[in-house]
């Protein structure tokens, strides 16, 4: 087991990426404490962490944020997610195509629990590999964009980048 890590600069902030044998297992937003994230992953995965090894994912993130790429070919893993409903929610979320959205209820139903919209939301809030497993593409059936563990302004920016929502209007100058 080789755990590697690095920070990827993006328009939504520096994302801490942790890979296990080349597969992304954790992507952390800037406000998350990097030391705590690294310690948690090392404890869960049972291995030492070494810097580097994120260049391929960094190139893919660059392409995604520049609008040149609609998917990620770098391997990823849900090794940090226990089996069961939470894992099924994330697996079904990974199937939502670029530029599309699904409701929490739809994702819950696809994961085997048609009445589990709230539980699906909890699973998505714990997504260890956001953006790559696009939890930002899950919205409430009542309208709007809903919450996001990486902040709602980021969710809006990601959905806007993908064309799933219209970009917010700029304020008019007086």
Catalytic positions: 135
The DSSP line for the chain is: --EEEEEE--TT--EEEEEETTEEEEEE-TTS-HHHHHHHHHHHHTS-EEE---HHHHHHHHHHHTTS-SS--S-B--TTS-SSHHHHHHHHHHTSPTT--EEHHHHHHHTT-TT-HHHHHHHHHT-SSBTTB-GGGEE-TTSS----TT-HHHHHHHHHHTTSSPPPPPPPP-
């Amino acid at each position: 087991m080789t755990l590697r890590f690095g920070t990827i600069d993006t328009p939504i902030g520096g994302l801490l990426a942790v890979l296990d044998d080349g597969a992304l297992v954790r992507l952390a937003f800037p406000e998350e404490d990097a030391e705590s994230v690294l310690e948690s992953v090392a404890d869960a995965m049972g291995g030492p962490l070494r810097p580097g090894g994120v260049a391929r994912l960094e190139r893919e993130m660059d392409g995604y944020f520049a609008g040149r790429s609609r998917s990620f070919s770098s391997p990823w893993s849900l090794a940090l997610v226990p089996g069961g409903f939470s894992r099924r929610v994330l697996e079904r979320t990974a199937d939502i195509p670029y530029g599309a959205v699904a409701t929490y209820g739809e994702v819950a139903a696809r994961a085997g629990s048609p009445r589990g919209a709230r539980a699906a939301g909890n699973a998505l809030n714990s997504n260890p590999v956001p953006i790559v497993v696009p939890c930002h593409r899950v919205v409430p059936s009542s309208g709007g964009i809903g919450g996001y563990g990486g902040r709602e302004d980021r969710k809006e920016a990601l959905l806007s980048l993908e064309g799933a929502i219209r970009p917010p209007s700029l304020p008019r100058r007086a």
